[in-house]
Structure 1
């Protein structure tokens, strides 16, 4: 069994008191959160910050008190076990933009309901709901 670890964040901003979540539309057409493989001796936090910058060009405030983990076996890579660690990341006064055009099709800033409607995987919908509850309790 091959083990892969990635880190990223559920990225959000507050616009007029409303939470907007930043989703990455991958080249496959799937919607997710900015994330990527841990490189060299990076910490989880360093990986998350680097990947957010590489995919969205955003400088963010990373909240490591919120930490959720997703584990799965990617269908396209039999014999692989994947772990993805997500934090929360807040941005302000910046406009996200696609940096890696060979990896990211588009970026979408959406309200919770809109994001849940277009996210394909139930586990990611649940992660987003957890993040939303945390944000409402700790940021608003």
Structure 2
């Protein structure tokens, strides 16, 4: 797929009553789909810097609220309106139990969801596959 738009973000999880839950944000535009925080790479910015910036902008969660698993990364490639798009997700864990999600105008709701519900809300095959890979990583590496 030829180069097109590039976006980056984090699949963020937390441990809540010994269960893993994933953060999904519902867009306030289009079909109001649910996704992890992510956004387009700005000129001069690395994909990692974009993921950090977009997470702060869209969820209010800052770098110190999270633990990052840089070796757990997924690159998605798919067309949007006939043009190629690349999205990079890394895995991050919410470690600041007092951190609150604060949405931007781009989103109208958020949910912390268990794996099965996250897959249901995620709806797109690429993001569901990402949740599956990341959930397996958490089970095997984040005890």
Same fold (TM over 0.5): yes
- Over the residues paired in the alignment, what is the CA RMSD in angstroms? 1.4
Provide the rounded CA distance (Å) in 2 between the counterparts of 1:97 and 1:111. Answer: 20
Give matches, 1:1-140, under 5 Å. 3-27=4-28, 28-59=31-62, 60-74=66-80, 77-78=81-82, 80-92=83-95, 93=97, 94-98=99-103, 100-101=104-105, 103-140=106-143
| Structure 1 contact 97–107 (Cα < 8 Å) conserved | no
Deviation of 1:62 (Å):
2.4
Query: Which structure 2 residue ranges, 5 or more long, are not aligned?
Result: none
Query: Which structure 1 residue ranges, 5 or more long, are not aligned?
Result: none
Structure 2 length normalisation: TM-score? Answer: 0.88
- Residues matched between the structures, number: 135
Deviation of 1:2 (Å):
6.3
| Structure 1 contact 13–21 (Cα < 8 Å) conserved | yes
Structure 1 length normalisation: TM-score? Answer: 0.90
